Amino acid sequence: MKQEQIDALREQPIGDGLLLIGGQWQPASDGGRLPVSSPIDGRSLCHLAAAAPADVDLAVRAARRSFESGVWSRMAPSERKKVLNRIADRIEAHHAELAVLGVRDNGTEIAMAWNAEPGSAAATFRYYAECVDKINGEIAPTPDGVLGLVHKEPVGVVAAIVPWNFPLMIGSWKIAPALAAGNSVVLKPSEEASLSLLRLAQLCLDAGLPEGVLNVVTGAGQITGDALAHHMDVDLITFTGSGPVGRQLMRASAQSNLKRVYLELGGKSPNIVFEDAPDLATAAKKSAMAIFRNSGQVCVAGSRLLVQRSVHDAFVEQLQNIAKALRVGDPLDVTTEVGAVSNARQLERNQRMLATAQQQGAQLRCGGNVIEPVPGGSYMRPAVLAGVQAEMEVAQQEVFGPVLAVMPFDDESHAVKLANGTAYGLASGVWTSNLSRAHRMVRAIKAGVVHVNTYGGSDLTVPLGGVRQSGNAHDKSLHALDKFLELKTAWIQL
Ligand code: NAD
């Protein structure tokens, strides 16, 4: 990643977004459009087509037609695999373009987006390409005289509804396994960050994905997304986003055709530092980045820092010094450590929750102020709140911004009680040199992932998902494929 490479792309004109339906790019049938501006400087980038329910219907019909035709669902697995690998090749060939486009759209610092977005997307298509010809059925251990075969089949039409924080990565976590399993897809990107996914869709066509197998409908969640969720011919929704929208999707399923609903939702993840952490300086540095990278707009962000009382004051001081020194600024500057807040609505929410926490008695140790390192953009300094009580809003609700809530604890059982004391269960971290304690904590914490002596590391081989109100499903790994496959039994009398 070189600054000159990025600068060469930062002003590249962006055409207005269209809908991809049955292999054709087209405007919304009623001419509806949504403006897109950049959180970097508030400048207008382009317009998106705002899909009306009639357009969503066309997209679902196109997906159904392609699915039933067998052009993809019955293509030889070895051929499907080649297409997915070619998509990965195209993503790699357009790495810089996709990275810069995405950052202009959502404001993530390029230092993070470079690998997290196109890098992850390409790796995801390759990973699931490798799975295509390894989806085996089963022969059941039935009694003599009968044969029980278990077939694995694609589900049909998959609706993938994704958020704005890492559109390309999360979009690929849905699209690639769904396609690998032989499904057709209707993708609904977030209206806050659709541009890199629209580009990805064109790359998929260029790579030879048959028309109608991937369709894209952009537009408002409450209109376009809602029409998709209520559609009678969508078989499955795979969703990443907020809890309230997750609930709406479950309702929509119940009110329509009982489509399967897989939810990856938010969190209020505890990051727990014991006095015997192997290296408190490293723990402080990683704990700061666990919450502040991408301005806290990370589902697994370590947004609650629980620190053992004996080291609390010294640790918080170290951490706030790190936070104060973080370079917040132009997301397209390779040296920027914290980019923009993705949109004005999110910035307002961050500020409101910060103010409420202070009214309720939390002490703001640093940051929290709105700044304008690039005129017209939306930015705030990383905020550290000490003296947070377990029942405060900032300890219970996801901010999805650069706001860290710090709480002291006395011993292991107190730490577990605080850690599990929210409705969520997405991620967590434990810092200790005591191996037995590390394993006890892994068992005791109610979360989809427990990081030990680090925070935030992962790769495609392990599942990512939450428990409790953080969701009911996983992205990544071989487990994610199962969402997109039906089991069918053949019971044969011999
Ligand atoms: P959101 O729920 O507001 O929107 C997500 C998507 O749902 C968007 O495409 C939106 O247009 C669509 N949508 C909104 N209303 C809809 C409706 N009524 N019917 C159908 N679709 C609708 O979430 P967001 O603000 O884009 O993203 C932030 C949230 O996502 C946070 O809560 C974050 O924790 C969560 N998230 C979770 C994970 C994870 O893996 N668990 C990863 C990233 C983000």
Q: What is the DSSP string of 164-205?
A: SSSHHHHHHHHHHHHHHTT-EEEEE-BTTB-HHHHHHHHHHH
- The C-alpha atoms of residue 163 and residue 35 are separated, in whole angstroms, by 17
Give CA–CA dist 100/121, Å, rounded.
Answer: 14
Separation of CA 40 and ligand 1 centre (Å): 21
What is the rounded distance in angstroms from the CA atom of residue 21 to the CA atom of residue 56? Answer: 9
The residue whose CA has the least distance to atom 35 of ligand 1 is 241
Write down the residue that tokens 């009306």 correspond to: 52
Condensed to tens digits (0 to 9), the pLDDT of residues 291-339 reads 999 999 999 999 999 999 999 999 999 999 999 999 999 999 999 999 9
Q: What CA–CA distance (Å, rounded) separates 268 from 401?
A: 11
The ligand 1 atom at the shortest distance from the C-alpha of residue 464 is: 40
For the CA of 244, the closest atom of ligand 1 is 2
Cα 217 to Cα 300: distance, rounded to the nearest angstrom: 27
pLDDT band per the 50, 70, 90 thresholds, residue 125: very high
Beta bridge partner(s), residue 385: 364, 405
Residue closest via CA to ligand 1's atom 13 equals 221
Going by C-alpha positions, the residue among 287, 265, 280 that lies closest to residue 406 is: 287
Beta strand extents in 376-423 (DSSP E only): 379-380, 383-386, 403-409
Per-residue pLDDT, averaged over 341-349, amounts to 95
Atom 9 in ligand 1: residue holding the nearest Cα:
190
β-bridge mates for residue 184, sequence order: 157
Q: pLDDT at residue 1 above 90? A: no
Q: For position 136, what pLDDT does the model report?
A: 97
CA 225 to centroid of ligand 1, rounded, Å: 10
Distance CA 250, CA 263 (A): 9
Distance in Å, CA 259 to ligand 1 centroid: 18
Collect all residues with Cβ–Cβ distance below 8 Å to 44 and sequence separation of at least 6.
35, 36, 37
CA of 436 relative to ligand 1 center, distance in Å: 37
Q: Where are the beta strands (DSSP E) in 289-411?
A: 304-308, 363-366, 370-371, 379-380, 383-386, 403-409
What backbone phi and psi angles, to 5 degrees, belong to 257? -110, 20
Residues 317 and 327: their CA atoms lie apart, in Å, by 18
What was the pLDDT predicted at 95?
Answer: 98
Q: How far apart are CA 124 and CA 440, in angstroms?
A: 32
Categorize the per-residue pLDDT at 457 as very low, low, confident or very high, splitting at 50, 70 and 90: confident
Burial 230-243 (b: 16+ CB within 10 A, else e): bbeebbbbbbbbbb
Contact 224, 21 (CB under 8 A): no
Residue minimizing CA distance to atom 39 of ligand 1: 264
Output the CA 189–ligand 1 centroid distance in Å.
9
pLDDT at 465: 97
User: Mean per-residue pLDDT for 259-286?
Assistant: 98
Give the helix/strand (H/E) hosting 55. helix 53-69
Shortest-distance atom of ligand 1 to CA 245: 2
Mutate to test the pocket of ligand 1, among 161, 264, 476 (most ligand atoms within 8 A of CB): 161
Residue nearest ligand 1's atom 30 by CA: 241
How remote is the CA of residue 240 from the centroid of ligand 1, in Å?
Answer: 5
Mean pLDDT of the 53-58 span:
98
CA of 85 to the centre of ligand 1 (A): 28
Q: What are φ and ψ of residue 279, in 5° steps?
A: -155, 105
Going by alpha carbons, the residue nearest to atom 8 of ligand 1 is: 190
> Hey, what domains does the chain have and what are their CATH numbers?
3-265 (3.40.605.10), 270-462 (3.40.309.10)
Q: What's the pLDDT at 309?
A: 98
Distance CA 63, CA 178 (A): 13
Whether 458 has a pLDDT exceeding 90, the answer reads: no
3-state SS assignment for residue 432: coil
- Two tokens at 51? 């899909």
Please give the distance, rounded to the nearest whole angstrom, from the Cα atom of residue 494 to the centre of ligand 1: 51
pLDDT digits (tens, 9 = 90+) for 226-269: 999 999 999 999 999 999 999 999 999 999 999 999 999 999 99
- Site to probe by mutation for ligand 1, drawn from 36, 48, 188, 190 as the one with most ligand atoms within 8 Å of Cβ, is 190
CB-defined site of ligand 1, < 6 Å: 161-165, 170, 188, 190-191, 221-222, 225-226, 229, 240-242, 245, 248-249, 264-266, 299, 398, 400, 426, 464, 466, 471
* Residue 243 alpha carbon, nearest atom of ligand 1: 32
CA of 242 to the centre of ligand 1 (A): 4
Q: Which atom of ligand 1 is nearest to the CA of 475?
A: 40
What's the mean pLDDT in 77-92? 98
Q: Which residue in 152, 211, 230, 161 sits closest to 189, CA to CA?
A: 161
Rama region for 263: left / alpha / beta (φ>0; ψ in -120 to 50; rest):
beta
Amino acid at 118: P
Q: Which atom of ligand 1 is nearest to the CA of 188?
A: 9
Average pLDDT over residues 403-412: 98
Cα 307 to Cα 312: distance, rounded to the nearest angstrom: 5
This prediction's pTM: 0.97
Taking CA atoms only, the protein residue closest to ligand 1 atom 16 is: 221
Q: Count how many Cα atoms sit within 13 Å of the Cα of residue 447 in the half-sphere of its side chain.
A: 27
Residue 160 has pLDDT above 90, yes or no: yes
Q: Which atom of ligand 1 is nearest to the CA of 192?
A: 26
Q: Annotated active-site positions, please?
A: 264, 299
Average pLDDT over residues 375-393: 98
CA atoms within 13 A on the CB side of 381: 18
* Mean pLDDT value across residues 14-40: 98
Percentage of the chain lying above the pLDDT 90 cut: 99
